[in-house]
């Protein structure tokens, strides 16, 4: 194989790096700020038991978390009407940018905590 035959692969490599950089810049300059502003606004305006965190623990991995810390007090009476209703404290919705620039959204619950009803 001659080195000239690698030109197409090298161009794909260059384009993939540019795509990653573009995605990461979009997250840094727009998406992350919109998410943080929106979520902090919701928390400040409504008492629904959310906590918002911005995480930046590794150079190429950032995330924004919404932790469902407590249950909205005005809804406890409603949920008590449904005996099987379960509130899972410390559930977290996570918006995370991976090393390649893609944004992943996932939900976690704590395995250490027991489920509690709205009562």
Tell whether 7 is covered by a domain.
yes
Structure confidence by residue, pLDDT tens digits, 14-26: 999 999 999 999 9
User: Distance between CA 101 and CA 107 in Å, rounded?
Assistant: 19
Q: Which residues pair with 96 in a beta bridge?
A: 63, 104
Average pLDDT of span 29-42: 94
Quick one: pLDDT at residue 3?
A: 80
Structure confidence by residue, pLDDT tens digits, 56-113: 876 667 889 998 877 777 777 777 777 666 666 678 899 998 888 899 999 888 765 5
User: Distance between CA 52 and CA 64 in Å, rounded?
Assistant: 7
Quick one: pLDDT at residue 59?
A: 67
Tell whether 11 is covered by a domain.
yes
User: Distance between CA 113 and CA 75 in Å, rounded?
Assistant: 21
Tell whether 117 is covered by a domain.
no
Taking CB atoms within 8 Å and a gap of at least 24, the contacts of 44-53 are: 47/72, 47/73, 48/72
Tell whether 116 is covered by a domain.
no
Confidence of residue 118 (pLDDT cuts 50, 70, 90): very low
Query: What's the total number of domains in the chain?
Result: 1
User: Distance between CA 24 and CA 88 in Å, rounded?
Assistant: 33
Range of the domain at 30: 3-108
Quick one: pLDDT at residue 116?
A: 47
Instruction: Find, among 109, 28, 116, the residue nearest to 71 by Cα.
Output: 116
Tell me the pTM: 0.71
């Amino acid at each position: 194989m001659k080195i000239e035959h690698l030109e197409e692969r090298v161009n794909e490599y260059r384009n993939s790096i540019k795509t990653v950089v573009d995605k990461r810049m979009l997250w840094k300059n727009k998406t992350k700020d919109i998410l943080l502003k929106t979520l902090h606004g919701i928390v400040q305006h409504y008492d629904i038991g959310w906590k918002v965190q911005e995480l930046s623990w590794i150079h190429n991995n950032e995330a924004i978390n919404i932790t469902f810390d407590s249950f909205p007090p005005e809804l406890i009476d409603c949920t008590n009407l449904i005996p099987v209703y379960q509130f899972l404290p410390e559930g977290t919705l996570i918006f995370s940018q991976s090393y390649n620039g893609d944004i992943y959204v996932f939900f976690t619950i704590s395995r250490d905590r027991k489920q509690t009803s709205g009562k």
